[in-house]
Chain A
Amino acid sequence: MIRWLLGPIGLCLAAAQALAADPVTIGVGYLGVAGTRSTLSLVEQPAENDGVAGAKLAIEDNNTTGKFLGQRFTLEEHRIKEGEDPVQAASALAEHNGFIVADLPADALLKVADALRDRGTLLFNAGAIDERLREADCRANVIHTAPTRAMLADALGQYLVWKKWTRWLLVVGSHDEDKLYADALRRAATRFGAKIVQERTFEDTGGARRTDSGVTLIQRQMPVFTQQAPAYDVLVAADESEVFAAYLPYRTWDARLVAGSAGLVPRSWDAAQDQWGATQMQNRFMKLNARRMSALDMQAWTAVRMIGEATSRTNSGDVRKVTDFIKGPNFEVAAFKGTRLTLRDWNLQLRQPILLVDGRMVVSVSPQEGFLHQVSELDTLGYDRPESKCKLK
């Protein structure tokens, strides 16, 4: 009798052990570009592992959950070197990874997306903020955890308008991405009722970002550059190329605040963010990577957590099943931003609040109070469904 009873119990134990011993492996690839960009501020210089460090933490988080479900997550990183073909690199990663988190320029990302389409690999764009990737050039196999330029500009615009700083002096850099950011800022001004009183272009004449006698010269140049402006409340700078914006605060001719690419900056994440349980996340990141967490780290963390969320909800590591769940109506992910994050089903952009930061503190979080929307207030940031040119394919 006792043996008869023990039999099934033994079986159960064996089954449980088999589950624990033989977990489903879920491979995640990380594809970035070798080298880091140069910033004006030394403290804002990105770390070598910017982005992938966030993915690494999310893999750990997923594995903590995965051990209860018999799922194991792995991370394989590849950095594309100068002259290397991104499609080849991505195809090699896709050999063992059904999911790839990418931090690539727009053109490279599109090539990779098209090359991997038939293979069924799901891509997460964690780095590129270009509007066109979610509009005319959108792809059905690319999910965007990075916010767009318009989302960032709208987040800033809402706050400036809420503050009643509605007269903007717009200073634009001379590179293409600076001009794209300026477009987004102009759109935000029009949408929320601000006025651009004047526009100026700051030409990039080349030169080093760091010099031994730098400050003396800058202190003379910046006031001159900003003098004789019409009456304005705030100087809004569009300088993604890191040529001049960081030089503007405290140096404008008139005593005015700076926002945009310096001063008050819109970002998906910041090392100072400590609301909604974020402190635990910041501590975990610091413990693992011995540095603070950047916006790119967060965008990569969110991508890998989205995969983990979907694998635990579907109890499956099957790429197709997981992809369908992520794109489906019941998907949501928590990312320490005080609200659930969901996907815009028309272009696969992750809806998210945007932080406004000054380098030390989180000053505010947009969407601002009073900017209403019939579906989600998060859709007051960026291009909305009726405006979208995206046809997912």
Chain B
Amino acid sequence: MQAEMRMRMLRVGVLAGLVLAAAPAHAFIAYVSNEKSNTVSVIDTDSWTVTKTIKVGQRPRGIEFTRDGKFVMVAVGDDDTIQVIDAKTQGVVDTLPSGPDPELFTQDAAGKTLYVANENDNTVTVIDLEKRARLGDIQVGVEPEGMTISPDGKTLINTSETTNMAHFIDTSSRQIVANVLVDARPRFACYKHDASELWVSSEIGGTVSIVDPGKHEVIGKVTFDIPGLRKEAIQPVGIGMTKDDKTAFVALGPANRIAVVDTATRKVAKYLLVGQRVWHMAFTPDEKYLLTTNGVSNDISVIDVAAQKVIKTIQVGELPWGITIAP
């Protein structure tokens, strides 16, 4: 009798252990914009499968959850607007009045103001998210693309691809306060969480510039060197910074790799082979996983952040570009 009890307890224990090992603590929902298919793929991070494909406007690229997690905004460049997807019904419910050809955008910490890079007319458009109304435009350099906001919300960063600058914009006055020259075709900007550094990727220059946001100066550069690969194939785009600011992940485009960068030494610790032409990435909120969009191979790579290993590949639509995960 006692032996049987013990056996049963053991069995339960083993079962419980199995369940714990198999299921992540939380399942998250990721939204992926497919530039060519004109769709958004919804991925469940529990089963790692596509649970829904949402039809959107033409050429969806930049994609982000609203701060409250209720909506997903996706820039549909060829329709000159940003569409709003209801996360509950997973259907398009509204549009936002962006300027022509919106590509990437960012929002303030409160989720009240949206800043959109409009590639076609050298402006950044400011949108009131609650009223869904356009508040104004800011003139920037040629082909604005990368957008981010400082952790204190006071500074908006925009990178312009042909001007090769990161523009520092005061969010209250909406005036440019500084311009920092970086390498050719800057595409993405990302602050450290402690606001001590701004990282800017240069696609054609093949580097990531590290900018001192106070002095507005480039204080360092991350360079990439992959044996057997031409320099021209290394084209940094998306950047993901861990919450402790110790590790940065940089997508290297047609080099088909994610570089894992030690932010203290600014050196690459490791290259992770992902799909073809890797563009952008997003962490799960628990930071266990990092998901990357692989444009040419039409899939998403799942990286185990702690192990720094690619553990899974998920097929999505054609030319996946942007990704956002529910907060």
Contact = CB atoms under 8 A, between A and B. Distances in A.
Contacts, number: 61
Interface residues of A, number: 21
B163 A283 contact: no
A283 B120 contact: yes
Interface centre among A64, A280, A284 (most CB of B within 10 A): A280
Interface residues of B, number: 25
A340 B162 contact: no
Q: Which 9 A-B pairs have the closest CB atoms?
A: A334-B204, A65-B163, A68-B179, A339-B232, A334-B184, A334-B185, A340-B204, A280-B119, A61-B142
Contact of A339 (B142, B179, B204): B204
12 contacts: A65-B141, A65-B164, A68-B141, A68-B165, A68-B167, A68-B176, A277-B143, A277-B161, A280-B101, A280-B120, A334-B204, A340-B184
Interface in B167-189: 167, 176, 179, 181, 184-185
Interface in A240-277: 277
B143 A313 contact: no
Contacts of B185: 277, 334
A177 interface: no
A305 B181 CA distance: 15
Contacts of A376: 230, 232
B184 A280 contact: no
Nearest to B162: A61
B142 A65 contact: yes
Interface in A32-75: 61, 64-65, 68-69
B205 interface: yes
B163 A332 contact: no
Contacts of A65: 141-142, 160, 162-165
B165 A340 contact: no
A64 B142 contact: yes
Contacts of A316: none
A378 B231 CA distance: 12
Interface of B: 101, 119-120, 122, 141-143, 160-165, 167, 176, 179, 181, 184-185, 203-206, 230, 232
B163 A68 contact: yes
Contacts of A280: 101, 119-120, 143
Contacts of B164: 65, 309, 312
A1 B179 CA distance: 31
A220 to B, nearest CB: 45
Interface string A211-225: 000000000000000
A332 B204 contact: yes
Contacts of A333: 184
Nearest to A63: B142
Interface in A338-365: 339-340
A332 B205 CA distance: 8
Interface string A110-123: 00000000000000
A33 to B, nearest CB: 29
A183 interface: no
A135 interface: no
Given A280-B119, A334-B162, A340-B205, A64 B230 contact: no
Interface centre among A283, A312, A339, A378 (most CB of B within 10 A): A339
Given A64-B142, A312-B181, A340-B206, A334 B161 contact: yes
Nearest to B119: A280
A61 B162 CA distance: 8
A313 B202 CA distance: 15
Contact of B163 (A64, A277, A313, A339): A64
Contacts of B141: 64-65, 68
A377 interface: yes
A280 B121 CA distance: 9
Contacts of B179: 68-69
Interface centre among B142, B164, B206 (most CB of A within 10 A): B142
A87 to B, nearest CB: 35
